[in-house]
Every structure is written in C-alpha cells, then in structure tokens.
C-alpha cells in the first residue's frame, strides 16, 4: 500500500453503524430497447447503532456533483454524512438522476452538457482574492485545511468526481423533482 493510503487508514476512526441503499423515482418508460426507468435516484442511508432524536438528514448534491461529495472530502477526511452519523443522526445521501450511481439514459433524459473543468471550478471552491473571479474574503475561506495552497492540491480530487452537467437547470430540476416525493416518503418510513 502507498504511504498516503496507510496514513489515511491509520488516522480513520472505526465506527459502528447500519447502512444500506434503495432506489426511488423508478417510473418505467419505453426506451429504444424496451422498458427503462426514467430518472431513477439512488439513495444511500446510514444510521448509528443507537440513533439520536430528531428527523433524519437528507443531503442533496449540486449540479455536477454526486453523493460522494458528502461521504468523503477531496482530501480524504470524513464528509458531512459520516460526521452527522457520528453525532447520532440518521443520514440519507442521494445521487440525483444521471449522477453518481443513478444511471443516465440519454434516450430518456436527454443529453448531458460538458464536464466542468478545473478552471471553471477553482473560482467557486478556491476563490482568488483579486481579479474578475476574486473574492476579497477568500483568505478567510475555512473549507480547506492548510489554507489555499493545500486547496489547490485537493482540487485535483474535487475535479475527479465532478461529472457532466445537465444542459439546462430546468431539465436537472425536472428529472430530480419526479423522485423527491418517494425519496421523502421512503426516508420517513426508514427512520421510524
């Protein structure tokens, strides 16, 4: 094993939880080779051995993202979902239609646009202090441990997990909206 991987494994805390996954939004439609599902949405869930009080958390990624955006950070630390479970919360993390583990069927959902590149993403996640994409408060940006220099290294990993985007926001919203009612109903059932 590579030293960096060994270090990451050694620094990770062992946890006890229950976890699983399920599909929602499985509306059958006719495709070129028979029936396919229009915009299925995969939901991964995790709950501590003894869940605390309160409703479950449902984490939904952005346009070019996927559920792994919440399970692990670009630099290998536990993501929001793992941290919430460690605090006693039940968490549902979704892969929106056409993202991550939710397949994209272009014959049913339409084509995807281009993948977002490093140059497009850097001003969003690591804003420079000056210039056209500048943010004068970027020096205060707490998202990256080690500051902006380590953030640039982490951007390689962040870009690796970005997929192609829907060509229009309306198409993205419409394909996701079909699955939301069943996702919420399923998460309500599983948390009780």
Give the CATH number, domain containing residue 34. 3.40.50.1820
Do 57 and 133 fall into the same domain? Answer: no
Q: Tell me how far apart the alpha carbons of residues 67 and 188 are, in angstroms, rounded to a whole number.
A: 19
At 174 the pLDDT is: 47
Examine the domain organization and report whether 138 and 157 are in the same domain: yes
Q: Terminus-to-terminus CA distance in the chain, angstroms?
A: 41
170 in a structural domain: yes
| 71 shares a domain with 42 | yes
**Residues 145 and 6 sit within 8 Å (Cβ to Cβ):** no
Mark whether 36 and 104 lie in a shared domain.
yes
Query: Is the pTM here over 0.75, yes or no?
Result: no
Pairing of strands 34-38, 57-60: unpaired
Residue 51 φ/ψ, nearest 5 degrees? -60, 145
Is residue 93 domain-shared with residue 141, that is, in the same domain? no
The region that residue 39 occupies, defined by phi over 0 for left and psi between -120 and 50 for alpha, beta otherwise, is left
Residue 81: predicted pLDDT: 94
pLDDT in tens, 47-98: 999 999 889 999 998 777 888 889 988 777 888 999 999 999 999 999 988 8
Residues 22 and 105 in one domain: yes
The Cα–Cα gap between 64 and 166 comes to: 8
pLDDT per residue as tens digits for the range 17-32? 899 999 988 788 888 8
Tokens of 179: 């699955």
Winning range, highest mean pLDDT, from 89-98, 151-160, 181-190:
89-98
Residue 137 and residue 179 in one domain:
no
Nearest to 98 by CA among 58, 46, 63, 57: 63
Give yes or no: residues 102 and 179 share one domain.
yes
Q: 1: pLDDT confidence band, cut at 50, 70 and 90? A: low
Check residues 118 and 190 and name the one with the higher pLDDT: 118
**8 Å CB contact between 185 and 191:** no
Is residue 92, in this structure, part of any structural domain at all?
yes
Same domain, 92 and 34: yes
Question: Residue 182 — pLDDT band, cuts 50, 70, 90?
Answer: very low
pLDDT at 187 over 60: no
Q: Domain of 87?
A: 16-110+166-192
Pick the residue with more confidence: 131 or 69? 69
Whether residue 186 has pLDDT greater than 60: no
Q: For residue 170, name the pLDDT band (cuts at 50, 70, 90).
A: very low
Together in a domain, 152 and 175: no
Is residue 10 one of the residues assigned to a domain?
no
For residue 14, is pLDDT > 80?
no
Both 64 and 85 in one domain: the answer is yes
Instruction: Count structural domains, the chain.
Output: 2
């Amino acid at each position: 094993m590579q030293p960096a991987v060994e270090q990451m494994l050694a620094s990770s805390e062992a946890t006890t939880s229950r976890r699983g996954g399920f599909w929602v939004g499985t509306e059958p439609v006719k495709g070129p080779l028979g029936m396919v599902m229009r915009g299925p949405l995969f939901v991964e869930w995790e709950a501590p051995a003894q869940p605390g009080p309160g409703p479950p958390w449902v984490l939904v990624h952005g346009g070019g993202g996927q559920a792994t955006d919440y399970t692990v950070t670009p630099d290998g630390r536990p993501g929001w979902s793992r941290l919430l479970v460690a605090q006693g919360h039940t968490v549902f993390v979704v892969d929106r239609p056409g993202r991550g583990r939710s397949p994209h069927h272009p014959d049913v959902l339409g084509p995807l646009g281009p993948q977002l590149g490093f140059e497009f993403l850097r001003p969003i996640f690591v804003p420079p202090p000056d210039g056209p994409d500048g943010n004068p408060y970027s020096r205060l940006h707490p998202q990256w441990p080690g500051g902006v220099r380590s953030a640039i290294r982490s951007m390689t990993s962040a870009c690796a997990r970005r997929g192609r985007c829907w060509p229009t926001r309306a198409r993205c919203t419409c394909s996701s909206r079909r699955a939301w009612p069943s996702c919420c109903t399923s998460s309500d059932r599983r948390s009780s």
